[in-house]
Structure 1
Amino acid sequence: MFTEKRRRLILELLYKNESVYVNDLAPLFNVSKETIRNDLNFLTQKGVIKRCHGGAMIENKTLNAEAINKFDATIIDFFKKIKTYKENTPEKKRKKMSGKVCILGSFNVDIIANVGRFPKGGESILSTDSIIGPGGKGANQALAASKSLADVHFVAKVGKDQFSQFAYDHLSSSCIKSMTLYQHEEAKTGSALIYVSQQDGENMIAIYPGANQCITDEEVFAITPELANADIFLTQLENNFSATLNAITIAHKLGVNVILNPAPYSPDALQCLHMVDFITPNETEASLLSGIEVNNLESAKRAAECIKEQGAGCVIITMGSKGALIFDGKKHEYIQAFKAMSVDTTGAGDAFNGAFAAAIAKGESVVQAARFASAFASLAVEKIGASNMPDHDSALSRLSQYNGK
């Protein structure tokens, strides 16, 4: 069941019963208690209900069917709401990391063609296989973080087309603990057309963003409780940048560590670097962010220093089979790559980012987290499909092979 429909049903139950309780609603809708609390907080912000111990009740007796149908049309002064929320929320206490990760990102339906080689312009070739599966950087990273044993809340938006139910079924049956899945009335669910070369596992991708580009300020503000409860906020650049920037702003104001995976590259990323605690570009993205062509370790060091000077926190440049480079503003740390039998590199970056976020959320150091993420990603490229992530124990086993300890 999608978020909007669930919230509307909660309002209908309130209209009939005058009160509802989290412990009853969670099993009724087969979602977590935290998701129900998020729903009730969202409806409270609309002014139609008020919270009570363990649940909610109708704010006034005039709540009617028209209010139920039109509650999502309320206009919110977004930044005023952020200020109000912050003023009414105690400063986040320094506490031991609990492994909670909130991810705002994309969901795409991947249409994959496995080919012997990439076609030339105007050429038609036969594929050895064709697969339709779940994807999108946000969804992939949420799976990777969940497989790395983080407590993940995933936020995305899909359409109301033939792929929307596919998205819901995939996410709800996955190991992702909870989610907020919005729907757009007109935009289609995002999709990606992917060629995977059987020669070396490399890929070519064309993305149709669809509903991923239609997240509203109101929808971003509604996930504030999830952000406040997280240790790490992870996001990318496949959603509309206004939504991404607003979510980063909220997380930053709440004192939540922000990880930005600047992919696919957009110069808009430069606007938020001062609020980013960790940035994880690949070689291409690091080159575009810095203006320095990254093709070896030395050029990666110069690029990392340039990105840091532009306001970013810790810079982690991922270089595929050449490993990863960390620059915290004081020193460079090189993380060697793990040997892997590469089959499909499509989700390698997502695997690294999700695993890295999970490790940081659980209190690992940046170096420890990057080593674990590298091990995790090396296993991901041995699997077919961007969303086909390895398990935590396998990553730990491969990590034990690291000879740099």
Structure 2
Amino acid sequence: MDRADVVVLGTFVADLAFKAERMPVVGETLLGRGFAMGPGGKGSNQVIAAARAGAKSAMITRIGRDAFGEMARKTWEQDGVTTSHVLVDDISPTGAAFIFVSATNGDNAIIVESGAAANLSVSDIRAAQPLIASAKVFVTQFEQPIDAAVEGLRLAREHGVTTVLNPAPALPVGDAIYGYCDFVTPNETEAATLTGIDTSTDEGALRAATSLVERGARNVVVTLGAKGALLHGAVGTHFVPAFDISNVVDTTGAGDAFNGGFAVALSEGRPPLEAVRFGAAVAGLSVQKPGTAPSMPRRSEVDAFLRERS
């Protein structure tokens, strides 16, 4: 039976990244400053981040029988990701994402189409139960159907597996899902969308985190970009400062890097506060390179980064 320390349920999409000075308005055409195509999707990015950060990792998803699907398989193979529960969909294509990257500061805006992964079903997740039960940490997001995410979290909790929900993109969901979550990890925008609370201040971020805990989550980690992260819940309340990164090239995938690194640290038995710092290091390294999955750092890089800042 295949097993992994970190199991990720999510999507693979082909990232089509365009760099420009700004986003065009409707009806306008702009000349770009660069283009790149590569592997992406929140789930896939997170499983690659986890694998490179040192965990035996596995992916649960659907891909199409097409060139982007082949890209996915090659990407996972290169990093030793277990793919026994990657299903091939003969009807829908592999997903794709349009990514705008600011040529000025590296900020990004994304439109994602989940493609075949939008067909993931509860029965698909139940078929992966032995893999989920063998894990130390289970991670999912909202790019695939919500009922599939709920079932994955439920099965993981049933088997005593630590559960991480990265609620991205932020969607309206019933509170029941939070009861299956050991950690919910929105960024500040997602936390605001989920709770209706302004998270532009530390106090607002704490109120939003408190709201999600009151809805059932054991702990919440609100990632705050350059300001760091807030950990709140059963483990207490902690503001974790960000690492000082002077060479920001591309912030696309930084949240996925954080979640992958965070899951690895939890799988190694590290305390949550230490796991947040480890995830922040993975994210800090990722933004210094272009792309999403290709920017995820190796464990040796993460360890060296943390030693230099200890």
TM-score band (shorter)? over 0.9
Q: Paired residue for 1:396?
A: 303
User: 1:262·1:269 contact (CA, 8 Å) conserved in 2?
Assistant: no
Measured against aligned partners, the alpha-carbon deviations of 1:213-260 in whole angstroms (never above 9, x if no partner) come to: 101222211111111110110111111112111111111111111100
3-state SS of paired residue (2:67): coil
Q: Against the structure 1 CA distance between its residues 401 and 304, is the aligned structure 2 distance closer, same or farther, given a 3 Å change threshold?
A: farther
Post-superposition shift, 1:323?
0.3
Post-superposition shift, 1:116?
2.5
Q: Paired residue for 1:242?
A: 147
3-state SS of paired residue (2:73): helix
Q: Paired residue for 1:354?
A: 260
Measured against aligned partners, the alpha-carbon deviations of 1:355-403 in whole angstroms (never above 9, x if no partner) come to: 0000000000001000111111011001100112111122222223446
Residue 363, structure 1, aligned to residue 266, structure 2:
no
Residue 145, structure 1, aligned to residue 50, structure 2:
yes
Residue 171, structure 1, aligned to residue 65, structure 2:
no
Q: Paired residue for 1:94?
A: none
Structure 2: how far apart are the matches of 1:398 and 1:190? 33
User: 2:167·2:185 contact (CA, 8 Å) conserved in 1?
Assistant: yes
Measured against aligned partners, the alpha-carbon deviations of 1:157-204 in whole angstroms (never above 9, x if no partner) come to: 111233222222222222424542101121111100111111010011
Which protein, 1 or 2, shows the higher relative CO under an 8 Å CA cutoff with sep ≥ 6? Answer: 2
Q: How many residues align?
A: 308
Structure 2: how far apart are the matches of 1:330 and 1:372? 17
Structure 2 counterparts to residues 159-308 of structure 1, below 5 A: 159-268=64-173, 270-308=175-213
3-state SS of paired residue (2:87): strand
AA aligned opposite 1:117: R
Structure 2: how far apart are the matches of 1:174 and 1:355? 15
Question: RMSD value over aligned CA atoms?
Answer: 1.6
Structure 2 counterparts to residues 125-144 of structure 1, below 5 A: 125-144=30-49
Residue 118, structure 1, aligned to residue 23, structure 2:
yes
Structure 1: how far apart are the matches of 2:193 and 2:16? 28
Structure 2: how far apart are the matches of 1:376 and 1:170? 19
User: 1:259·1:277 contact (CA, 8 Å) conserved in 2?
Assistant: yes
Structure 1 residues 118-127 or 184-193, which shifts more? 118-127
Structure 2: how far apart are the matches of 1:179 and 1:287? 36
Structure 2: how far apart are the matches of 1:337 and 1:400? 15
User: 1:152·1:178 contact (CA, 8 Å) conserved in 2?
Assistant: no
Structure 2: how far apart are the matches of 1:310 and 1:268? 11
Which consecutive unaligned segments of at least 5 residues does structure 2 have?
Answer: none
Q: Against the structure 1 CA distance between its residues 115 and 322, is the aligned structure 2 distance closer, same or farther, given a 3 Å change threshold?
A: same
Runs of 4+ in 1 over 4 A off after TM superposition: none
Structure 1: how far apart are the matches of 2:187 and 2:17? 22
User: 1:148·1:358 contact (CA, 8 Å) conserved in 2?
Assistant: yes
Residue 109, structure 1, aligned to residue 18, structure 2:
no
Structure 2: how far apart are the matches of 1:219 and 1:330? 33
Larger radius of gyration: 1
AA aligned opposite 2:259: N
Q: Against the structure 1 CA distance between its residues 179 and 402, is the aligned structure 2 distance closer, same or farther, given a 3 Å change threshold?
A: farther
| TM-score, length of structure 2 as denominator length | 0.95
Residue 321, structure 1, aligned to residue 226, structure 2:
yes
3-state SS of paired residue (1:267): coil
Measured against aligned partners, the alpha-carbon deviations of 1:322-359 in whole angstroms (never above 9, x if no partner) come to: 10000124631011101111111110000000000000
Structure 2: how far apart are the matches of 1:238 and 1:222? 20
Structure 2: how far apart are the matches of 1:168 and 1:394? 25
Q: Paired residue for 1:155?
A: 60
Which consecutive unaligned segments of at least 5 residues does structure 1 have?
Answer: 1-33, 39-98
User: 1:305·1:329 contact (CA, 8 Å) conserved in 2?
Assistant: no
Identity within the alignment, %:
36
Structure 1 residues 262-271 or 319-328, which shifts more? 262-271
3-state SS of paired residue (2:33): strand
User: 1:100·1:231 contact (CA, 8 Å) conserved in 2?
Assistant: yes
Post-superposition shift, 1:119?
2.0
User: 1:198·1:343 contact (CA, 8 Å) conserved in 2?
Assistant: no
User: 1:322·1:337 contact (CA, 8 Å) conserved in 2?
Assistant: yes
| TM-score, length of structure 1 as denominator length | 0.73
3-state SS of paired residue (2:104): coil
